[in-house]
Structure 1
Amino acid sequence: MGYVYKDDIKKRLRRIEGQARGVLRLMDEEKSCKDVVAQLSAIRNATDKAIAQIVAENLQQCIIDEQLAGRDSSKVVQEAIELLVKSR
């Protein structure tokens, strides 16, 4: 069974998509490096928050699933931590 992503995370990613288009527009308009980098930094921050939200929501459901099955949930917690570390 796949993971169902909530509408708010999809909305967040659409906003990031718009920001990326905005960076391309800044480049086409030959705006300053400072402006481009500032927008790219904003995209990175937004992406980091999206990753954290996805991992947190998935972790919560995985822990519930493991507990309902009578299994130890520490493995899924470790996997979530590894995902967050790899994303940076």
Structure 2
Amino acid sequence: MAGRSEVSYDSKMKNRLKRAEGQIRGILRMMEEEQDCRDVVTQLSAVRTSIDRTIGLVVAENLAACIEKERAIGGEPDTESYVQEAIDLLVKSR
């Protein structure tokens, strides 16, 4: 998938990351204020979940773009190869 398509990173993806960025700033503030570690860890977990979902969205959009591009040029996409590469990306991100 890497380099095979021109996936666009839409405002939905960017907004997810902007929210995560705000959450991280909030966590840093919590740490500076020496707030309870359980609260900090809860917020860190929420950011991780948000980032994981964004990764899934990026990979899914790229997978769809790769297959669509292949079909648009009249080819028969190697769907199995694209899906395996998407799975590899997701596994690597964990």
TM-score, normalised via structure 1 length: 0.91
User: Paired residue for 1:17?
Assistant: 21
Greater relative CO (CA pairs within 8 A, separation 6+): 2
Q: Aligned pair in 2 of structure 1 residues 78, 48: CA closer, same or farther (>3 Å)?
A: same
RMSD: 1.4
Show structure 1 runs of 5+ residues with no match.
Answer: none
What number of residue pairs does the alignment pair up? 88
- Hey, which of these two has a bigger chunk of helix by percent? 1
Show structure 2 runs of 5+ residues with no match.
Answer: none
Are 1:67 and 1:73, in contact at CA under 8 Å, matched by a contact in 2? no
Q: Percent identity?
A: 53
CA displacement 1:3-46 (0-9 Å, x = unmatched): 32000110010000000000000000000110110000000000
Q: Where in structure 1 do 4 or more consecutive aligned residues deviate above 6 Å?
A: none
Q: How many Å separate the matches in 1 of 2:43 and 2:60?
A: 26
TM-score, normalised via structure 2 length: 0.86
